[in-house]
Every structure is written in structure tokens, then in C-alpha cells.
A and B are shown apart, each in its own frame.
Chain A
Amino acid sequence: EVQLVESGGGLVQPGGSLRLSCGASGFTFRNYEMNWVRQAPGKGLEWVSYISGTGNTIYYADFVKGRFFISRDNAKNSLYLQMKSLRAEDTAVYYCARDGFQLGVWGKGTTVTVSS
């Protein structure tokens, strides 16, 4: 069964850092492009970042450039999102999603709350 499981969310103070992980199973991870998408409470979907299968191509949404960093470890079938200088407006459920720019498989998400 194809599965994505996010972890690493939690409560963090403004200005703090957090590293999200996404574990993949049921498919050949290195062959697939991956994304992070977030959803603030009561709001719509907001794309955060993309990474190619090799990790050579990366894109970020403007609002996270310089603060968030996407990476992957194909040997560990894992996707990561390092988040720094967190702000209250970064509070959201963070989903990892597979399949390039048309996101075919989604995890259940991990919740990040930025608050003092």
C-alpha cells in the first residue's frame, strides 16, 4: 500500500525552528517528485515547496524562501522540511504529497503551532 506519514509537528515559539519528516512506503521513493503543502486552520491549501526525485531541482513559495528548506534521503525513503524563523502565520497542518505538480498521494498531515 502506498503510504506517506508525516511527523515532527508540535508547538514552537515564534522565531523557533522545527524539522518535519515524511516517511514513504509502498513505492520506489527515489523515482517520485515530492511536495510540502500546508493548510492554516479554517483556510485553504497552500503549496510550500517541491523537490525532484534526485533532489537536484527545488522550488519554494515566496513566503518561505530563506526560512524553510526541503530535502530528501532516498536511502531512507524520507522527505524533510527544515523550518526556521517560524511565525504565527506558519501555524498549519503540513502535508507531504507525491507526484510532481499534480499531487496524487497525500499523507494525513502533521500540525505545527507557532505560539508563545
Chain B
Amino acid sequence: QSVLTQPPSVSAAPGQTVTISCSGSSSNIGNDFVSWYQQLPGAAPKLLIYDDNKRPSGIPDRFSGSKSGTSATLGITGLQTGDEADYYCGTWDSSLSAVLFGGGTKLTVL
């Protein structure tokens, strides 16, 4: 069981908007930046969001991140079938001195 809690799965229709939550505590999300990763089937993870809400070069603005207290959220607008993937949140935990990942959320675009 992960210290960072994500819903196991979410789904929505093409063109719709979906959000994925990531819940932690004061020693991790509440104390450091959150990043989000996309892992397409059979591929390595890719950084989608860093510093809570910044997008690396090449990541479309359909992807957004936000944080409030000890929870973070990834938002994806204008869903496409190519967005079907596993999504992970990640952050540093100062109590554990460890990088933490959420358990992952499988996005299905119906």
C-alpha cells in the first residue's frame, strides 16, 4: 500500500475532462513539490508535470497540475485515445528520506 494514495482507475469519453487525485501527508506532498508521470503501455514513464504545476517542454497544455495542502491533482482536458495510460504522482518524503510514488491510476478513454 503506497503512502501516496491515488484512485486505481478513472475513465471518461474522448473530448471530456478527467482529474486524478493524489493524497499524502505533511511530510511529503505538504512539504515538497509534486510531479506527475505518464506511462503508456509497454513504455518507460515520462514526466508530465513538475513543481506541482509546471509542464516540461513538449507536454501539451491539456495536462495541468495543482496542489492544495497535502493533496495534488492532475487534470487532463480534451481526452484522446492516446492518453490511455497509467499515471503516477511522485514527491519527496522528508521523514522517510525517500522518493515516493502513488500506486498509479489507470486511465481508460471510453
Point out residues on A near B: beta carbons under 8 Å.
35, 37, 44-47, 50, 59, 61-62, 95, 97, 99, 101-109
Contact = CB atoms under 8 A, between A and B. Distances in A.
Given A61-B98, A95-B45, A101-B91, A45 B37 contact: yes
Nearest to B44: A106
Contacts of A62: 96, 98
B34 to A, nearest CB: 9
Contacts, number: 65
Interface residues of B, number: 27
13 contacts: A44-B104, A45-B37, A45-B39, A45-B104, A47-B98, A59-B99, A61-B98, A62-B98, A101-B35, A102-B47, A102-B90, A103-B47, A106-B46
Interface of B: 2, 32-33, 35, 37, 39, 44-47, 50-51, 56, 86, 88, 90-92, 96-104
